[in-house]
């Protein structure tokens, strides 16, 4: 399945049906009076977030979505049939933006969440509603209310608990493959990963979702390489795992390069908890790996782990650190939510 994380679609609800101008005509009834029915209501355009989707590829082949119009009213006070609504299914994590690509309409972050994007027009009233003591035979009915229509952008931001960042060929795909049943493409050249990959990690009978995004290079925020197009997929992560190839000549400079690109993209990524690890530890002698670890740890002032996706070295330790960060972040948000509602800790 191809990956597509952005699409532009046109949506239009159904207009309401017109009311009817009709009069009751039956044998032996001299003054039948008006009996025009109301028009039916137009259908709505509804968005629904579903769990079994992780790409917007379907919207490459269908860009127009139109709900059914309401039917006109009829005589004998018969109301027109309402138009059928349409439901557009989108992946969980989809943002809906206005045509300017900046105004956020809705963020679909919960499975089963629905949102009425365009409301159908109400049906017009028939001439029965306009009868009065001074107007016994009204020849007036209302037109149905117009439909709503718009162009919107759909932007997918995958829902993951932790995200992998680093330069191209830093071992992120190997780490994901060693951590889960995901099978990303792995090769010895940069930019092997061209779109985000997800994997479910199981550690100590607990599960979390790990995301691997294409590697960043210096100048990515200016569009070099693949740019920062896919960084939106880790905005929702609780923690970032920063992998650095242990064979890098200057691991501190490598670390700062990626951090600068994250900062240029959005402060929210820089402020997230971070786990730093030297990857591909199986490619160097243990004493050389330890030397690199000490250089990096001293240069950035953070604890540095050592991992190898091939030998599984340090993988479980990283998993447990990720799990602890996820738990603490969720607990912190829960406490903030309770305080916002007036609960005392």
80 is in an annotated binding site: no
Three-state SS sequence of the chain: CCCCCEEEEEEECCCCCCCCCCECCCCCCCCCCECCCCCCCCCCEEEEEECCCCCCHHHHCCCEEECCCCCCCECCCECCCCCCCEEEEEECCEEEECCCCCCEEEEECCCCCEEEEECCCCCCCCHHHHCCCCCCCCCCCCCCCCCCEEEEEEEECCCCCEEEECCCCCCHHHHHHHHCCCCCCCCCCCCCCCCCEEEEEEECCEEEEEEECCCCCCCHHHCCCCCCHHHHHHCCCCEEEEEEECCCCCHHHHHHHHHHHHHHHCHHHHCCCEEEEEECHHHCCHHHHHHHHHHHHHHHCCCEEECCCCCCCCHHHHHHHHHHHHHHHHHHHHHHHHHHCCCCC
170 is in an annotated binding site: yes
- Rounded-to-integer distance, Cα 261 and Cα 267, Å: 10
120 is in an annotated binding site: no
215 is in an annotated binding site: yes
257 is in an annotated binding site: no
172 is in an annotated binding site: yes
129 is in an annotated binding site: no
168 is in an annotated binding site: yes
309 is in an annotated binding site: yes
194 is in an annotated binding site: yes
156 is in an annotated binding site: no
47 is in an annotated binding site: no
179 is in an annotated binding site: no
CB 15 within 8 A of CB 147: yes
279 is in an annotated binding site: yes
282 is in an annotated binding site: yes
191 is in an annotated binding site: yes
201 is in an annotated binding site: no
221 is in an annotated binding site: no
326 is in an annotated binding site: no
303 is in an annotated binding site: no
192 is in an annotated binding site: yes
214 is in an annotated binding site: yes
Q: Which residues line the annotated binding site? A: 166-173, 191-195, 212-215, 279-282, 308-310
Q: Which residues line the annotated binding site for GTP? A: 166-173, 191-195, 212-215, 279-282, 308-310
Q: Which residues line the annotated binding site for Mg(2+)? A: 173, 193
């Amino acid at each position: 399945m191809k990956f597509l994380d952005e699409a532009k679609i046109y949506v239009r609800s159904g207009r309401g049906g017109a009311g009817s101008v009709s009069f009751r005509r039956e044998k032996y009834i001299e003054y039948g009076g008006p009996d025009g029915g109301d028009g039916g209501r137009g259908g709505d355009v509804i968005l629904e977030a579903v769990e079994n989707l992780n790409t917007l590829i379907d919207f490459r082949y269908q860009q127009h979505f139109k709900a059914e119009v309401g039917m006109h009213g009829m005589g004998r006070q018969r109301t027109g049939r309402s138009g059928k609504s349409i439901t557009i299914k989108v992946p969980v994590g989809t943002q809906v933006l206005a045509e300017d690509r900046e105004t956020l309409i809705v963020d679909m972050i919960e499975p089963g969440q629905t949102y009425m994007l365009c409301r159908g027009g109400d049906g017009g009233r028939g001439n029965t509603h306009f009868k009065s003591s001074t107007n016994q035979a009204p020849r007036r009915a209302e037109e149905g209310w117009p439909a709503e229509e718009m162009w919107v952008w759909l932007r997918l931001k995958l829902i993951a608990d932790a995200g992998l960042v680093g330069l191209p060929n830093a071992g992120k795909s190997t780490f994901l493959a060693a951590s889960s049943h995901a099978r990303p493409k792995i090769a010895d050249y940069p930019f092997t990963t061209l779109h985000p990959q997800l994997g479910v990690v199981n550690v100590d009978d607990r599960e979390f979702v790990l995301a691997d995004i294409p590697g960043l290079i210096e100048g990515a925020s200016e569009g070099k390489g693949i740019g920062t197009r896919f960084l939106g997929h880790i905005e929702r992560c609780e923690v970032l795992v920063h992998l650095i190839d242990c064979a890098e000549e200057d691991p501190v400079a490598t670390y700062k390069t990626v951090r600068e690109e994250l900062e240029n993209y959005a402060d929210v990524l820089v402020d997230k908890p971070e786990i730093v690890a030297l990857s591909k530890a199986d490619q160097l002698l243990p004493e050389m790996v330890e030397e690199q670890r000490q250089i990096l740890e001293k240069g950035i002032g953070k604890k540095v782990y050592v991992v190898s996706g091939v030998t599984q070295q340090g993988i479980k330790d990283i998993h447990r650190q990720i799990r602890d960060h996820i738990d603490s972040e969720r607990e912190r948000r829960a406490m903030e939510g309770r305080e916002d509602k007036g609960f005392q800790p």
